[in-house]
Amino acid sequence: MSSERPNTKRIIREDIDRIRAYEKAFDVDMPYIGEDGEIKNLPDPFPREVNGVVRSGYRLTELGRQAEKEKMPVMNPILGRNTAEETFKESKIMYDKAEELGVQMFHFVHSEATRHIDPLDGIELVEQSRGKGGITPKGEREYVQMGGGSVHPMRINATGDTPHISILNSLMAGFDGTDIGPVIHVHFGGRGIHDYKTKVTNSYKAIQICAENNIFVQLDSHKHVNNILGTDGMALAMCLLSEGLAVKAGLDRALSAIQMNVGGINLLADIAVMKAFKETTWSEFIIVVPETFQDPPADFRAEQAHFARMAVSAKLGEANFYRPKAAESVGIPTGESMSKAIWASQNVFESMYQTEINDPFIEKRKEEIQTEAMAVLSAALKMDRMLSPEEITEEFWQQFDSEELIDLIVTAGKSGVLDTPRAGGWDLQRYVKTHRDQDGIRRYIPGCTPQGVDEQYMPIAKEDVEPPKETEVIHDEKIVLATVGADAHVIGINKVKEACEEAGYEVIFLRGMNLPEAVAEVAAETQAKLVGVSNLLGLGGSLYPRVDQRLRELGLRDEVHLMAGGRIAEKEEEHKEYEERIEKEGPGFLGVDVFFGPGSSYEEIVDWINTKLGNK
């Protein structure tokens, strides 16, 4: 690390207008350019004492290495509320449980959804999404001053249009770490409003800031490829590209981790994918997260039994960090629920005998993942030969100029070399189709492998799966579907889209991060007869009525059916009261005709649509 931090200061100069917009939007003091032309109000890099504690990304390095030595994953719970006071109150319950168990944790303090949006170009989306999804930038600073992170190191999440600015704020606050996701998490996950190139470029700036200021980085995420139906090998290739950017930025590998999902369906497959990542990636650590799209039971006890399968995989696969899950079906958990999830997961870890499983399937599956990854990586980098895992070193990445590497990544994403079936970014190629075989492994459907990648190296579904046929539009009525507000959670609405298309409807799909009024206006422009909107952050109470109001202003509300879904309440404890109100009053107070909450079936949704549109 250079004590002068030339990249950090250059980035502040380049993006001073956005930094000023961030300062204004979130009421926090940020670095600025003084009258003498020098950067002012930039704190010293880590290690730095903040509120009596020396903060640094290397606090997390020590925890990760402790896990490696003791074969005991470190807990990485996620809990962040809208205010510092509420976050501290709920986290204190979680911290007390950690003290009782005698463990030190890596706390992921979830940030407000507004972090996804460029504060200069997307201020309207920022304004309508305040107060939901987690702690505010100002709250981050207040939380540290209240004692947050004094015992348990912590990180924010900074994924979005301008992660480098969010990370500057977290540096000032005193957070030890962050996430970024330059290749996968930001754009394939559908976060933000900008194009792929802008997001990769800004993410590279974020990595440069982390490198010069000793901030721990969850660099990229197998989890987010897994969530949008991508394969393990595709995820590995994309994570390797992110690591190439990290090498170019000068990040210490001891400050880098890759996040991954485990499914708990096939223990050998989970161990194999963890082994493939541990042996191939440059990052020193892996953070394992349970799959949450398997529709975990709403009952807390049953939910913990469900996630215990994934905890077993994390333990035997020797994860450095593990993220316990709680109240996944209803929103942000309480400290009480999360403390019980920590207790349950720690019990699994401490009660299990650590053994090495030497089944030949593990090695075979590991090599299959690596082969796919090398084929995708070779195509993305436009190599004239097939790369091998052994070649992917720091020296390998130094042959590329940073701008060249960014351009190669963006071109690969837009051309279909990097591809997943439900990629969220609006300018990405979407061609591949995948199928999860009964052994829990996701493979490609024949004829639907990544474009520009040699098919012989791609894992093909073992079950008899036909390439999907183009759905025939048999109904005249059009449907508009979108998430509203700064919400990038598009898995559910993607499934609604597919169900509607299979039922014979033409769907205009706006994906994530839309203004409510814009959704209504698209419905008017396309002469749609039904609009479906979703928000998973608990903003529906304020955003759904705005769709209703705009349809009324356009004189269309009597002609257009309006349905909504997602989580009507952000927090676990609020969810039940909203459900009871909907059951008692109906969904009219939301401005919609029907609300499909967690647990609703897609058959139920399509049946309602058919009834309303007269297609029974």
511 backbone φψ class: left, alpha, beta (φ>0; ψ -120 to 50): left
Q: What is the pLDDT of residues 85-94, one digit of tens each?
A: 999 999 999 9
Structure token digits, residue 561: 């059916």
Q: Where are the alpha helices (DSSP H) in 331-398?
A: 335-351, 360-380, 394-397
Q: How many CA atoms lie within 13 A of 575 on its CB side?
A: 19
**Residue 558 burial class via C-beta count within 10 angstroms: exposed 0-12, middle 13-18, buried 19 and up:** exposed
Cα–Cα distance measured from residue 65 to residue 322, given in angstroms and rounded to the nearest whole number? 14
Averaged confidence pLDDT in the chain: 93
Cα–Cα distance measured from residue 27 to residue 281, given in angstroms and rounded to the nearest whole number? 39
CA–CA distances in Å: residue 328 to residues 265, 311, 348: 19, 16, 19
What does the pLDDT read at residue 16? 98
Domain assignments of the chain as residue spans, ordered by start: 6-351, 371-457, 478-612
What does the pLDDT read at residue 570? 67
Cα–Cα distance measured from residue 563 to residue 561, given in angstroms and rounded to the nearest whole number? 7
Amino acid identity for residue 417 in this structure: V
CB 114 within 8 A of CB 129: yes
Cis peptide before 47 (omega within 30 of 0): yes
pTM greater than 0.95? no
Amino acid identity for residue 179 in this structure: D
Instruction: Say if domain 478-612 classifies as CATH 3.40.50.280.
Output: yes
Chain-centre distance of CA 104, in angstroms? 24
CB atoms within 10 A of CB 574: 16
The residue to which tokens 């290739």 are assigned: 237
Instruction: Say if domain 6-351 classifies as CATH 3.20.20.240.
Output: yes
Enumerate residues 6+ apart whose C-beta is below 8 A from 87: 79, 80, 81, 109, 135, 139, 143, 148
Mean pLDDT by 10 residues, the chain (616 residues): 84 98 96 97 98 98 97 96 94 97 97 90 87 88 97 95 97 98 90 92 98 98 94 98 98 98 97 98 98 80 91 97 84 88 96 93 98 98 97 97 98 96 86 96 96 97 88 94 83 89 94 88 95 86 93 96 86 75 91 89 95 91
Read out DSSP for 194-251? S-HHHHHHHHHHHHHHHHHHT-EEEEEEHHHHHHTT--HHHHHHHHHHHHHHHHHHT-
52 backbone φψ class: left, alpha, beta (φ>0; ψ -120 to 50): left
